[in-house]
């Protein structure tokens, strides 16, 4: 994925995804776990959740697929992904978003198989 023109958050997503390309990446955004691109297509199909699109950068960048669910539903959705044979990388916010004026630090806190 070419990262030129992506938003800082989408660059962060793709950088983390590159560390575990075989895993479906659940990316914490506020009160939700979101996933993008092919991961979103797969998650939506496995979990029966809505697949949508989001802008991921400048106007010339096409929208990317997105699917997500509330963070408190992780215990419901995570086992479904694992039962479907997916390895899952859980990416959490590593700082309080209210305390930063820049991109929230995120990191993979758990790999589940």
**Where are the chain's structural domains?**
8-112
DSSP bridge pairs for 111: 89
Q: What is the pLDDT of residue 60?
A: 66
What pTM value is reported for the model?
Answer: 0.89
Task: Please determine, looking at this structure, whether the domain spanning 8-112 carries the CATH number 3.40.1170.10.
Answer: yes
- pLDDT (average), residues 21-37: 96
Distance CA 85, CA 81 (A): 7
Mean pLDDT score, 60-81: 93
Taking the C-alpha atoms of residue 101 and residue 39, their distance in angstroms, rounded to an integer, is: 29
- The C-alpha atoms of residue 79 and residue 2 are separated, in whole angstroms, by 32
Q: Does 110 have pLDDT greater than 60? A: yes
User: What pLDDT does residue 63 have?
Assistant: 83
Instruction: Tell me the pLDDT tens digit for each residue of 45-69.
Output: 999 999 999 876 666 677 899 999 9
Q: To the nearest whole number, what is the mean pLDDT of the chain?
A: 91
User: Rounded mean pLDDT of 29-40?
Assistant: 96
CA angle 34-80-51, nearest 5°?
A: 40
């Amino acid at each position: 994925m070419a990262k030129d023109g992506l938003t800082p958050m989408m660059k962060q997503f793709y950088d983390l995804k590159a560390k575990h390309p075989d895993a479906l990446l659940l990316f914490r955004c506020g009160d939700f776990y979101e996933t993008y691109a092919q991961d979103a297509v797969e998650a939506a199909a496995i979990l029966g959740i809505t697949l949508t699109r989001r802008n991921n950068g400048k106007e010339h960048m096409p929208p990317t697929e997105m699917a997500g669910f509330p963070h408190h539903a992780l215990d419901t959705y995570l086992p479904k992904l694992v039962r479907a044979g997916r390895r899952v990388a859980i990416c959490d916010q590593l700082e309080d978003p209210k305390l930063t004026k820049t991109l929230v630090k995120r990191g993979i806190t758990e790999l589940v198989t």
